[in-house]
Amino acid sequence: MNRRFALKTALAAVLALPLAAQAAWPEKPVTIIVPAAPGGTTDIAARLLSDRMGKALGTSVVVENRAGAGGIVGAQQLTRAAPDGYTIMMGNIGPNAINYSMYKELPYKADDFKAITLVISVPNILVVNAESPAKSVQDLVALYKKDPSSITLGSSGTGQSPHLSGELFKLRTGMETPHVPYKGAGPAVSALLGNQFTFMIDNLPSSLPQIKGGKFRALAITSAERSPELPDVPTMAEAGVPDMVVTAWFGLVAPKGTPDDVIAKLHAAAKAALDAPETQARFAQMGGKAGGNTPAEFDAFINAQRELWASTVKAANISAGN
């Protein structure tokens, strides 16, 4: 009888081990992969969240930049990570929606990721160097018509929403200019400051400091309404460019197979960080709107965005060429 009781007790202890391990999560730091260079919205959003998420989780949250190939490098790294919640990614509209229709082959699939929550959505902004003679969209188009070979489009990377926004802008205005991709918004901003290309349509947060600092001139914004941060900048429609409403988004994803209870803890920590008045105020200053939806809602949103951009890419006949 004592032996049978001992065996039952031992078996119960073994079966309880996974539950105890999950209940103790997290037991070490969490890493947020940023599939872009420092300085862009993906990076800014991750760093704004990391400290508050860490406090909510009771551990450190570290940001790791893995730029390259329009977010493919960072996304691929996430798919190789253990599905234990200790490695997640600040996904975005590029690697998690646009890339599926931009590339014939990708080293990952849509179901390789598990949604956690939307973090921030922002409009894009058409900017030129402040030294440019273009004071409006019409001026930029006129410069192109005068000398097409002198106009180039820069972006934070092939397949990202700034690139697609730029391509759509070219379609709407009849401009056929070369595209110069960079490994993130930070390098692209630096290149435009150095007049290495003519214009770009950037995520608002990464160009806003240069606009307010007088180094960039904003010509139009891709939101349906003007931004409170830049009330004098017209929308694309007001600037004479129809059907150019684009919203870029950024959100947390984990590798597939990550336990639901771990996803729930990550979501709760992220939502606590996003609900903080300081975070909401900072996002508003960036021209963005804080997220915080449930994993199921974010998953449905990503799926809808993937379908939306597939039709957009097809209509625009845009390809990354692989």
Q: Which sequence spans correspond to the domains of the chain?
A: 29-121+248-316, 123-221
* pLDDT (0 to 100) of residue 17: 43
Residue 257, pLDDT > 90, answer yes
Rounded to an integer, the average pLDDT of 91-96 is: 93
Q: What's the rounded Cα separation, in Å, for the pair 121 and 97?
A: 14
> Averaged over 273-290, what is the pLDDT?
93
CA pair distance 299, 305, nearest whole angstrom = 10
Residues 6+ apart with CB under 8 A from 196: 154, 180
At residue 240, φ and ψ (nearest 5 deg) are: 95, 15
Query: What pTM value is reported for the model?
Result: 0.81
According to DSSP, the β-strands at 113-129 and 247-255 are: antiparallel
d(CA 197, CA 216): 13
Q: What is the pLDDT of residue 154?
A: 97
d(CA 73, CA 297): 26
Assigned token pair, 157: 């990377």
CA distance linking residue 276 with residue 27, whole number of Å: 25
- Predicted confidence band of residue 275 (pLDDT cuts 50, 70, 90): very high
Segment 161-182, tens digit of pLDDT = 899 899 889 989 999 999 999 9
Q: Which helix (H) or strand (E) holds 203?
A: strand 199-203
pLDDT of residue 14: 43
Whether residue 88 contacts residue 154, with contact meaning beta carbons closer than 8 Å, is answered with no
> Which of 54, 34, 29 minimizes the C-alpha distance to 45?
34
Amino acid at 96: N
Instruction: Tell me how far apart the alpha carbons of residues 139 and 135 are, in angstroms, rounded to a whole number.
Output: 6
**Architecture of the CATH domain 123-221:** 3-Layer(aba) Sandwich (3.40)
Question: In this structure, what token pair is assigned to residue 21?
Answer: 């391990």
Q: Quick check: 211 pLDDT over 70?
A: yes
Checking if the pLDDT of 20 tops 50, the result is: no
User: 116 CB contacts (<8 Å, ≥6 apart)?
Assistant: 88, 251, 252, 253, 254, 263, 266, 267, 270, 295, 298
- Position 19 scores a pLDDT of 45
DSSP-derived 3-state class of residue 189: helix
* CA atoms of 256 and 318, how far apart (whole Å): 29
DSSP secondary structure letters along 276-294: SHHHHHHHHHTT-EE----
Average pLDDT over residues 279-298: 94
29-121+248-316 CATH fold: D-Maltodextrin-Binding Protein; domain 2 (3.40.190)
Cα 134 to Cα 198: distance, rounded to the nearest angstrom: 10
User: At 321, is the pLDDT very low, low, confident or very high (cuts 50, 70, 90)?
Assistant: low
